[in-house]
Amino acid sequence: MNNSSPTRVILVRHGQSTYNQEKRIQGRSDLSVLTEKGQADARLLGQTLAPLAIASIYTSPLQRAQQTAAIIQTYINAPLKNVEDLREIDLPPWEGLHKDQVKAEYPDEYYQWKHHPAEFTMTREGQTFQPVISLFAQARRFWQELPKTGETILIVAHNAINRALLATALGIPPAYYHHIQQSNCCINVLNFLGQGRVQLESLNQTAHLGEALPKPREGDRGLRLLLVRHGETQWNRETRFQGQIDVPLNDHGQQQAQKLADLLASYPIDLAVSSPMLRPRETAAIVLKNHPQVELQLEPALQEINHGLWEGKLETEIQELFPAELAAWRSRPEQVQMPGGENLQQVWDRAIAAWQSILNRADWGDDRLTNIMVVAHDAINKVILCHLMGLSPAEFWQIKQGNGGLSIIDYPEGPGGMAILQAVNITTHLSGTIVDQTAAGAL
């Protein structure tokens, strides 16, 4: 096997457990087992993963993960290995307690846990330790020891360790630990591309469980933003740089937009905002045919990055004319000033300002979930998602955005509160598979 080939990691959370059902804190307690629903969802997960050529399965030694992995293994002919570093977070004083009991008996600690996870401390056998920081160290150790074989591997673990695995792979700081959602039996896809490069292809897929969009966390209201990348254009297909040239959707892009429209047909949309460029406007208009009461608002600051002299050129042409700049764009995007165009910091500044402006426009707070659809571009969406994950422009390429893909961000406390990444780059509505099969074209 060529070890320089990308390694695809499918990261899943175990099925619903008895402690999940009872709303008890699990941590490293091993008293919790899968419920009937957890077993049924694990079977759906196994069926979904069966078409993939999975070379090996790594699992936590805790029995709720073991049970999930064993069910999946009935659909996949791959060896299974127990790994200590996939154990769940260590929360010894709380394990087995109902969440409401923890809130009542440990109010200060619970607040710190929820709002300042990087500083959160606990005591075990008279020794103070930091559960989240310790978990991040455990996750880093796992990635360091995991063989990168150029194959597809499956990891079956838990809510907290999955968040830490995703965060440490991508460089997300511990302070953003609670910003990442992990549903029972969800699917995440990471691509290890070599030379230390890692790409988040998708986060928290749940369509295989009959949930087209992940549900808000129990009791959450506030805002939900549906962040969409426009459908495919012919220039995407050709790997021709578009930037701020107004290229329309091709036939396939219109079909992608229609599939997104079908996905969201019965989903309430309260506000829709788009880049004023043709390809996102066309995408939004197709979706809004099912929501005629919603008037599309245009936001100029959501326009795609200005590639300057690169616009209209094929990637191969840019390779000939600007080889050093293109190499830097691929490896150090934060350092590149597009000739005659923008740099990534300029895009970052206008995109984040536009995002906050959209949040502030929302009419929310009536004890329901207010839904806003935002349709934009590859670079714009990547910048927004990096910002919400605590990443910098240097991590720009670590986020994938497929044409017609959907990301979901919840603000349960409103525009000024924490952003919860419920899902990133959902494309199952386009192809029926968990792997993004959209065009890998230029921006």
- What are the extents of the domains in the chain? 7-209, 222-431
Angstrom distances, CA of residue 46 to CA of 112, 214, 317: 37, 19, 44
Helix, strand or coil, per DSSP, at residue 34:
strand
List 233's β-bridge partners, or say none: 249
Contact 284, 272 (CB under 8 A): yes
Q: Is 125 marked active-site?
A: no
Q: Write down the pLDDT at residue 368.
A: 81
Structure tokens at 310: 């690169």
Distance (Å, whole) CA 172 – CA 163: 10
Distance (Å, whole) CA 411 – CA 222: 6
Domains 7-209 and 222-431 share a fold: yes
Q: Is 304 marked active-site?
A: yes
Q: Write down the pLDDT at residue 364.
A: 87
| Nearest Cα to Cα of residue 167 among 132, 195, 125 | 132
Strands 187-194 vs 197-205: parallel, antiparallel or unpaired? antiparallel
| Nearest Cα to Cα of residue 178 among 160, 203, 166 | 160
Please compute Rg for the chain using Cα positions. Answer: 22
Q: Name the active-site residue from 304, 311, 342, 395.
A: 304
Q: Name the active-site residue from 230, 252, 377, 429.
A: 230
Measured from the Cβ of residue 70, the count of other Cβ atoms closer than 10 Å reads 17
The CATH T-level fold of domain 222-431 is: Rossmann fold (3.40.50)
Strands 296-298 vs 271-274: parallel, antiparallel or unpaired? parallel
Contact 362, 271 (CB under 8 A): yes
Q: Write down the pLDDT at residue 442.
A: 55
Contact 165, 148 (CB under 8 A): no
Distance (Å, whole) CA 435 – CA 199: 13
The CATH T-level fold of domain 7-209 is: Rossmann fold (3.40.50)
Q: Cβ neighbours of residue 131 under 8 Å, at least 6 residues apart?
A: 89, 90, 91, 120, 121, 122
Structure tokens at 216: 């808000």
pTM of the entire predicted model: 0.96
Q: Tokens 């094929």, residue?
A: 314
Averaged over successive runs of 10 residues, the pLDDT of the chain (443 residues) comes to: 77 98 97 98 98 97 98 96 98 96 96 96 91 98 95 98 98 97 98 93 97 83 95 94 96 98 96 98 98 98 97 95 95 95 97 97 86 97 97 96 97 92 97 90 59
